């Protein structure tokens, strides 16, 4: 079979025959996408296949009577496994599961398993690749490793190529990634995994390797199949260009002893002759003597590169192609080089390294969702996630009046956990000491991971968040859950002072003017929180009750389809056990300053807008906490870069009046107009110790009086509304306020 098109990948069953019908891989689709984006890859692939054909042009017919390939030399490959996880058991796969995977792959590629059920026509074609895989014992810096890395990441839920920020040099290591779910969808099935074809390296070296859905690490054939793609094997129906199982779409795969087929999406049609009847090849030896080889008249349904439910084997021709691939200049030949095996430690014994302590805090009241913020008395469950060695003893200690200050367990596993509640406000100090099996003890301190809110709620009139590090900032904790550049942080600018809360949403990894785009680590799926102090809103059970704050934000794109940042505000009335959505801010409500391609920083009060969020009756309890969750958005054109910019919040408070009225900072001034500028109504805020009557006159720029109002000052302060109906025209107005014998005139800008 001497045709070419593209490739794909999948695993459909266990070697035992357990079926996963209609399960697919996405290598073909991805490869076609790469060629569309980089047409030169098609030429590179054609040259590569010609190079392989030349290598295999003089087939030794005697090999058909052997149980191995002509070349029995063992090829050793260093492997690095990268686990992107969310700490849940379905994606936080164990080290032992990885070790078992490598053992199983070695059995498959060394033909060290039972092939007795291979049907008779193909028994003499079963190939032995003599390829061995070894987890690296040295990382790219030369440090000792088990060959396994882990990263807590939102990208585990379908991040696909974007999870590959942990890649070790693909010239030195065969990189394998696991994520919870493959996000890529293809028609007719669920994607379990996909591989990078060797020729894709020229344009996509940063994605080189295989990625697999974590739940399928042990299914028996998925990784074996994907690794075949990594070593240049196509699907047996590849050249048809059609989907697997398309009636009449016979195809081949550049390998002669895998007869033409339409492929088998499921089942196990062992004697399918639709495409293979009377299939033969004629070969010429070194002196030109022809030899005819009759291949089986049935397709090789049991081939590991098919989708059937009974994959068992590679053929000798596939083995020859994989080994030939490793000897070409197509970025695989360096893997088994003697020097590379030495610097990666591939042939060394696995080092006995101390365990790495980690824990996963969850909310028992929220179906096990992770939570790092709590309130006094509210329990959190701390589950053990220590890895890298067999742990013989684990001790955890907790501060802040923990209900269980010390937790010790022998021979812990991932089900080992302790539930704790706390009495003292502030950041909890957690220490974990994990003792390995003959490797020693590793102790890690976690000082800023869990925060306990104040036990007593603040009265709303006492809550005016300026986010000043010297004052109130410490009581408004922020959480950068995934430890990346997108996060809440203090900013040195503000509405009235030099302090505010900022979401760092500017994607410093991208420079569109230079055509530079990041290839991994998209913020899509990321979220970061900050939390309020607890507030007692029970005194505002009836009447108006508002959360007020000022915001200033920009986007990076002027395309409305690309402005996808959101901020969701939640509230909890049960001490952080459950959270209820209050409102969502997006687009212009969030990013009022339009597009700017530099990191956005507000420079004047005019850059800020007032926000008022009505608090429903259900949220007006005696102990209410608010959560502010920012979700950075990405572009719609496939670059997956952040199209937002920096966003700022300031002067957060609670009260009866809308934003701008409660939030005015009077200082020594006895009259203020807020908001100013305005595009709606405005308020004159008057302070007078004598409780005189305030007389307000509003004139346009020509001096024409357009509105007057008198209001008695009560409690030494009045808030006097200038309605929007009086401010119909945009421009500058003069507002004259008289109390007793004092008169003050100020400008009001309407836009």
Residue 740's pLDDT band, with cuts at 50, 70 and 90, is confident
What pLDDT does residue 65 have?
A: 45
From residue 191, alpha-carbon distances to 20, 160, 267, 282, 556 in Å are 11, 11, 18, 38, 33
78 DSSP β-pair partners: 134
Report whether pLDDT(210) > 70: yes
Helix (H) / strand (E) containing 695: strand 693-699
Section 636-664 average pLDDT: 81
What pLDDT does residue 275 have?
A: 95
The tokens for 501 are 């809360």
What pLDDT does residue 508 have?
A: 86
Report whether pLDDT(207) > 60: yes
Q: Which of 725, 504, 745, 538 is nearest to 622 (CA)?
A: 538
Report whether pLDDT(64) > 60: no
Report whether pLDDT(136) > 90: yes
What pLDDT does residue 446 have?
A: 98
Section 725-738 average pLDDT: 91
Report whether pLDDT(655) > 50: yes
Q: Any residues with CB less than 8 A from the CB of 228 and at least 6 apart, and which?
A: 9, 304, 305, 314, 318, 322
Residue 20's pLDDT band, with cuts at 50, 70 and 90, is very low
What pLDDT does residue 667 have?
A: 45
Residue 18's pLDDT band, with cuts at 50, 70 and 90, is very low
Q: What angle, rounded to 10 degrees, do the helices at 27-37 and 40-55 form? A: 120
Domains of the chain: 23-343 (3.40.390.10), 359-452 (2.60.40), 460-655 (2.60.120.260), 671-750 (2.60.40.10)
Q: Which of 419, 416, 427 is nearest to 403 (CA)?
A: 419
Phi-psi region of 167 (alpha: psi -120 to 50; beta: other; left: phi over 0): beta
Q: How far apart are CA 226 and CA 30, in angstroms?
A: 13
Section 580-597 average pLDDT: 94
Per DSSP, 472 falls in state T
Residue 236's pLDDT band, with cuts at 50, 70 and 90, is very high
What is 244-291 written as a DSSP string? Answer: TT-TT--B--S-TTS--B---SSS--TT--TTTTT-EEEEE-TT--EE
Spell out where 11-127 has E strands: 23-25, 75-85
From residue 331, alpha-carbon distances to 32, 174, 351 in Å are 20, 11, 28
Section 477-504 average pLDDT: 95
Alpha-carbon torsion, ordered 301, 303, 307, 309, to 10 deg? 70
Section 419-426 average pLDDT: 98
Residue 70's pLDDT band, with cuts at 50, 70 and 90, is low
What pLDDT does residue 324 have?
A: 93
Report whether pLDDT(89) > 60: yes
The tokens for 607 are 């850059």
pTM value is 0.85
From residue 421, alpha-carbon distances to 37, 105, 446 in Å are 54, 45, 17
């Amino acid at each position: 079979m001497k045709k070419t098109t593209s490739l794909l990948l999948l695993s459909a069953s266990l070697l035992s025959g357990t079926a996963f019908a209609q399960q697919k891989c996405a290598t073909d689709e991805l490869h076609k996408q790469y060629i569309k984006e980089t047409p030169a890859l098609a030429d590179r692939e054609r040259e590569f296949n010609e190079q392989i054909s030349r290598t295999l042009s003089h087939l030794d017919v005697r090999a058909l009577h052997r149980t191995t390939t002509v070349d029995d030399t063992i090829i050793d490959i260093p492997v690095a496994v990268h686990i992107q996880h969310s700490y849940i058991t379905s994606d936080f796969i164990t080290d032992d599961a990885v070790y078992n995977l490598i053992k199983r792959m070695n059995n498959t590629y060394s033909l060290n398993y039972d092939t007795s059920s291979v049907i008779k026509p193909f028994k003499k074609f079963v190939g032995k690749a003599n390829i061995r895989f070894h987890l690296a014992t040295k990382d790219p810096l030369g440090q000792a490793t088990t060959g396994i890395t882990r990263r807590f990441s939102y990208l585990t839920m379908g991040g696909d190529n974007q999870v590959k920020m942990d890649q070790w040099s693909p010239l030195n290591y065969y990189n394998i990634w696991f994520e919870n779910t493959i996000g890529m969808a293809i028609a007719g099935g669920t994607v379990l995994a996909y591989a990078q074809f060797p020729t894709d390296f020229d344009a996509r070296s940063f994605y080189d390797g295989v990625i697999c859905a974590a739940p399928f690490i042990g299914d028996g054939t998925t990784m074996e199949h994907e690794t075949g793609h990594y070593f240049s094997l196509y699907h047996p129906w590849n050249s048809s260009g059609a989907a697997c199982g398309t009636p009449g779409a016979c195809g081949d795969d550049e390998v002669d002893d895998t007869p033409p087929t339409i492929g088998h999406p499921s089942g196990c049609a062992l004697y399918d002759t639709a495409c293979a009847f009377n299939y033969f090849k004629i070969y010429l030896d070194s002196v030109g003597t022809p030899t005819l080889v009759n291949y089986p008249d049935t397709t090789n349904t049991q081939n590991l590169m098919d989708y059937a439910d009974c994959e068992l084997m590679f053929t000798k021709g596939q083995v020859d192609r994989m080994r030939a691939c490793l000897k070409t200049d197509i970025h695989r030949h360096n893997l088994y080089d003697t020097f590379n095996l030495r610097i990666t430690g591939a042939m060394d014994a696995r080092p006995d390294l101390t365990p790495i302590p980690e824990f996963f805090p969850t909310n028992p009241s929220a179906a096990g969702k992770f939570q790092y913020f709590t309130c006094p008395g509210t329990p959190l469950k701390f589950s053990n996630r220590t890895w890298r060695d067999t742990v013989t003893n684990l001790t955890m200690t907790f501060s802040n009046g923990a209900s269980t200050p010390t937790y010790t367990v022998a021979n812990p596993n991932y089900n080992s956990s302790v539930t704790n509640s706390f009495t003292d406000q502030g950041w909890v100090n957690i220490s974990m000491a994990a003792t390995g099996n003959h490797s020693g003890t590793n102790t890690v301190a976690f000082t800023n991971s869990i925060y306990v809110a104040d036990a007593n709620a603040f009265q709303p009139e006492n809550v005016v968040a300026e986010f000043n590090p010297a004052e109130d900032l410490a009581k408004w904790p922020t959480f950068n859950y995934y430890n990346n550049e997108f996060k809440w942080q203090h900013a040195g600018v503000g509405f009235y002072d030099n302090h505010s809360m900022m979401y760092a949403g500017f994607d410093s990894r991208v420079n569109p003017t230079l055509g530079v785009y990041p290839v991994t680590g998209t913020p899509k799926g990321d979220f970061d929180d900050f939390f309020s102090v607890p507030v007692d809103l029970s005194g505002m059970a009836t009447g108006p009750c508002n959360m007020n704050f000022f915001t200033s934000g920009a986007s990076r794109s002027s395309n409305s389809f690309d402005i996808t940042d959101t901020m969701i505000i939640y509230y909890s009335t049960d001490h952080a056990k459950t959270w209820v959505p209050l409102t969502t801010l997006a687009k212009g409500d969030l990013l009022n300053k339009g597009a700017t391609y530099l990191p956005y920083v507000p420079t004047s009060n005019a850059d800020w807008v007032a926000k008022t969020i009505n608090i429903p009756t259900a949220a007006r309890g005696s102990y209410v906490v608010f959560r502010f969750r920012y979700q950075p958005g990405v572009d719609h054109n496939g670059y997956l870069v952040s199209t937002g910019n920096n966003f700022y919040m300031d002067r957060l408070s609670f009260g009866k009046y809308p934003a701008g009225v409660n939030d005015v900072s009077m200082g020594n001034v006895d009259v203020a107009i807020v908001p100013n500028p305005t595009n709606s109504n405005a308020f004159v805020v008057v302070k007078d110790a004598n409780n005189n009557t305030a007389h307000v006159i509003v004139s346009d720029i020509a001096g024409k009086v357009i509105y007057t109002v008198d209001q008695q000052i009560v409690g030494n302060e009045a808030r006097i509304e200038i309605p929007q109906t009086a401010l119909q025209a945009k421009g500058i107005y003069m507002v004259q306020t008289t109390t007793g014998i004092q008169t003050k005139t100020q400008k009001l800008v309407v836009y």
